[in-house]
Chain A
Amino acid sequence: EPEVTQTPSHQVTQMGQEVILRCVPISNHLYFYWYRQILGQKVEFLVSFYNNEISEKSEIFDDQFSVERPDGSNFTLKIRSTKLEDSAMYFCASSGTSGRYYEQYFGPGTRLTVT
Chain B
Amino acid sequence: AQSVTQLDSQVPVFEEAPVELRCNYSSSVSVYLFWYVQYPNQGLQLLLKYLSGSTLVKSINGFEAEFNKSQTSFHLRKPSVHISDTAEYFCAVSVDGATNKLIFGSGTLLAVQP
Give the interface of A toward B (CB within 8 A).
31, 33, 35, 41-45, 48, 50, 55-56, 91, 93, 95-96, 101, 103-109
| Distance between Cα atoms of A104 and B44 in the complex (Å) | 10
What is the minimal beta-carbon distance from B52 to any residue of chain A, in angstroms? 10
A45 touches B44 (CB 8 A): no
| Distance between Cα atoms of A10 and B94 in the complex (Å) | 29
Type the 1/0 row for B26-45, where 1 means its CB is closer than 8 Å to any CB of A: 00000010101000001111
Nearest chain-B residue to A55 (Cβ)?
B99
A105 touches B101 (CB 8 A): no
Most B CB contacts (10 A, CB to CB) among A93, A96, A101 go to: A101
B residues contacting the other copy or chain, number (CB 8 A): 24
Give the interface of B toward A (CB within 8 A).
32, 34, 36, 42-46, 49, 51, 90, 92, 94, 96, 98-107
| Distance between Cα atoms of A44 and B104 in the complex (Å) | 7
A104 touches B42 (CB 8 A): no
In the complex, which residues of chain A have a beta carbon less than 8 angstroms from the beta carbon of B107?
42-43
In the complex, which residues of chain A have a beta carbon less than 8 angstroms from the beta carbon of B32?
101
| Distance between Cα atoms of A70 and B95 in the complex (Å) | 29
In the complex, which residues of chain A have a beta carbon less than 8 angstroms from the beta carbon of B34?
103
What is the minimal beta-carbon distance from A86 to any residue of chain B, in angstroms? 19
B46 touches A105 (CB 8 A): yes
A109 touches B102 (CB 8 A): no
Nearest chain-A residue to B103 (Cβ)?
A45
Q: Evaluate whether A41 and B42 lie within 8 angstroms (CB atoms) in the complex, with A56-B99, A103-B34 already known.
A: no
Q: Evaluate whether A48 and B99 lie within 8 angstroms (CB atoms) in the complex, with A91-B44, A106-B44 already known.
A: yes
| Distance between Cα atoms of A93 and B34 in the complex (Å) | 14
A101 touches B96 (CB 8 A): yes
